[in-house]
Amino acid sequence: MTAHASDSPTFATAVIPARGGSRGVPGKNVAPVGGVPLVARAITSALGAALIDTVYVSTDDTHIADAARAAGARVIARAGELADDTASSESALLHALDAMPSEPEILVFIQATSPFIDPADLDAAIELVHSGAADSVFSAAPSHVFLWREGADGAEGVNHDASQRLRRQDSEPQYRETGAFYVMRTAGFRAAGFRFFGRVGFVPVAELGAIEIDSPDDLRLARALADILDFPDAPTTPTTEEKS
């Protein structure tokens, strides 16, 4: 499928909610990773997708708004009551839809806290919704992690039988929601008021870059990964043997 920018300017629109307040990581949405503010990285990924026509950033913060415009996004000013700790992402998305000149067929919700979004994954998710294979789609990373919980008689397995330790290659992967993006049919989202509705699908994304920044440690990890993921073909530091 080709991009719809010429025949339907409201085919797929991305919204990046990015409020100024963050208790865990102050100034998080403009924190640099790989020398680029997080909100700008999200915008770049969205603009890199062939099927996204327009990118909006919904924010209450002037610094975020300035960074968003510099990166090529349009800005929707969000009122304070929609940007406090209790406001849901859904409320920001609905507010953004109401502020648009025309409503898109497909809404792409992107979170700036995921710095390594592949535009091809966004296109794949949009394709799933557009084709009718799913009504809402989210990004997911494969996992073979053994989960445990505290039970009445000690630790007990959550997603596995503790008496059967299957090898990784013998077990079906489970998938964890990465929080990077959600793609949905706009009419269905308005009717449901929540991002998961109808037939839900997911797009598997690369596990290495499936990080969501919620803490200072997450930010440090993302900055370390940027050298690897932003420049995958860069030469590595030569070993002693290579130097000689």
Catalytic residue among 69, 165, 199, 220: 165
Token pair of 172 as six digits: 């079906």
Tokens 């084709």 sit at which residue?
Answer: 131
Contact 131, 166 (CB under 8 A): no
Token pair of 192 as six digits: 């449901």
DSSP string, 180-218: EEEEEEHHHHHHHSSS--SSEEEEE--STT-----SHHH
- Cα–Cα distance for residue pair 150/167, rounded to 1 Å: 24
7 has a pLDDT exceeding 50: no
DSSP one-letter code for 17: E
Q: pLDDT tens digits, residue range 107-147?
A: 999 999 999 999 999 999 999 999 999 999 999 999 988 88
**pLDDT average, residue stretch 43-62:** 96
Q: pLDDT tens digits, residue range 171-222?
A: 788 899 999 999 999 999 999 999 999 999 999 999 999 999 999 999 999 9
DSSP one-letter code for 81: G
Can 165 be counted among the known catalytic residues? Answer: yes
Three-class SS state of 163? coil
- Cα–Cα distance for residue pair 2/41, rounded to 1 Å: 24
Domain 12-141+174-243 has CATH 3.10.180.10: no
pTM: 0.87
Q: pLDDT tens digits, residue range 138-154?
A: 999 999 888 899 999 89
| CA 9 to chain CA mean position, Å | 23
DSSP one-letter code for 28: G
